[in-house]
Amino acid sequence: MKPLQVGLLGIGTVGSGTWNVLSRNQEEITRRAGRGIEIAVVADKDEARARQVVGDKARISADAFAVVRDPSIDIVVELIGGYSVAKDLVLAAIESGKHVVTANKALLATHGTEIFAAAQRKGVMVGFEAAVAGGIPIIKALREGLTANRIEWIAGIINGTSNFILSEMRAKGLAFDAVLKQAQALGFAEADPTFDIEGVDAAHKLTILSAIAFGIPMQFDKCYREGISALTREDIQYAEELGYRIKLLGITRRAEVDGKAGIELRVHPTLIPASRLIANVEGVMNAVLVKGDAVGATLYYGAGAGAEPTASAVVADLVDITRMHTADPENRVPHLAFQPDRMAATPILAMEDVTTSYYLRMRVQDRPGVLADITRILADGTISIDAMVQKEPAEGEELVDIILLTHETRERNINAAMAKIEALPVVSGRITRIRLEQLGRQ
């Protein structure tokens, strides 16, 4: 049987990794897929670089749209990235009746609903395992392995750059700016690290996970995002003293507010008990914790980026498509796990309606009655205190740090209480607020 013909768009880090993995493991992959998979043409504006990677084993083109329109191509692998051109290429491939594999989380988080609807109409498949957590097969786990479960929540470390920075800040007591420069020097952070350190990349991935877990459309614009650039080594140290680690988490959860169902969709720094497995994921590694009603908590850990870990997921999608190439489209695994006509309209909750616990750090004047004023404001807002630490003032200092851990409360209550506390004349500056999650037992 003739191998399925693949058009590879982009031969950068992941593209070259895909070429290498597919070439190196060709025999094993064919045995598993039941049919050969062959990259017939590579599209890249840098034709010399492409030729250096593939030699004379594939055609080279500078025109990605020509590859998409090529009638001999069965599957298009989009590894260009970005939004506009990638979207046009993917939709053109689908319109031409070709299956698509992509690692483009930004594209799917913003335009996935449109792309999957187009694929459904044309009876083709879109594989996107590589779009979330690199080589960790979390998409397949959610769509297939956990299909018997009602997913209750997901919490994930899904950005390696931010996790590396937080790990180094904790281990070495360094400031954020110093570790960011180190991450850039090591190639873990881009020259412009905004997407990583401000939670945008994690929000793209969480949007995809939430859609699969709960059968809702992609809603990236409704995902709450808060990055790590404002975190201090003092807060990381205080969290450690209290038995917690700070991680940038993507969290999505079923919730009920005022008797109505909703979905939490949020990315932000989070205190996690240091005893939790996910709290001990260090460096650039990723981990996703999924809670199903039947299976309980399951943890998926591995490399979230890199040439060959991500290529592993790309090639796995190619194998899946090869296996299902001739199957009735109605009997394939749905793109977002649920049948297209059974998607839910459950709304995404506003952040002020989320209920969680909080770490609050404030600098106050070291005088009698200050703590009583603060605790009275919290009590008036129906916020109860779980733990409290008051630090000793440095020699010659009149200000002291007070750290409070609260029990669960709605975010709107914390916002109101913080505004009142910050207005007290004995409080200096703004309160540092970091959300806290127990994440059950693992």
pLDDT along the chain (442 residues), means of 10: 94 95 96 95 95 95 96 97 93 97 97 95 96 95 96 97 97 96 94 96 98 96 97 96 97 95 98 96 97 96 93 96 84 86 93 97 92 95 95 82 97 98 96 94 51
The answer to whether 4-135+307-340 and 139-303 have equal CATH topology is: no
How far is it, in rounded angstroms, from Cα 293 to Cα 270?
24
CATH topology for 354-436 is Alpha-Beta Plaits (3.30.70)
Domain boundaries, the chain: 4-135+307-340, 139-303, 354-436
Q: Give CA torsion, residues 328, 330, 333, 335, to 10 deg.
A: 120
Tabulate helix, strand, coil % of the chain (nearest 5). 40, 25, 30
Distance CA 287, CA 154 (A): 11
- For residue 339, what pLDDT is reported? 87
User: What would the DSSP string read from start to end of 178-195?
Assistant: HHHHHHHHHTSS-SS-HH
Contact 78, 6 (CB under 8 A): no
User: CB of 356 within 8 A of CB of 364?
Assistant: no
Report, as residue numbers or ranges, the catalytic residues: 205
Q: Is the Cβ–Cβ distance between 151 and 165 less than 8 Å? A: no
Q: What is the DSSP string of 46-108?
A: -HHHHHHHHTTSSEEES-HHHHHH-TT--EEEE---SSHHHHHHHHHHHHTT-EEEE--HHHH
pLDDT for the residue 441: 55
CATH class of 4-135+307-340: alpha beta
Look at residue 442 in the predicted model and tell me its pLDDT: 47
Between 3.20.20.150, 3.40.50.300, 3.30.360.10, 3.90.190.20, what CATH number should domain 139-303 receive? Answer: 3.30.360.10
Three-state secondary structure call for residue 146: coil
What predicted TM-score, i.e. pTM, was given to this entire model?
Answer: 0.95
Check residue 27 and give its pLDDT: 95
What is the Cα–Cα distance from 309 to 109, expressed in whole angstroms?
21
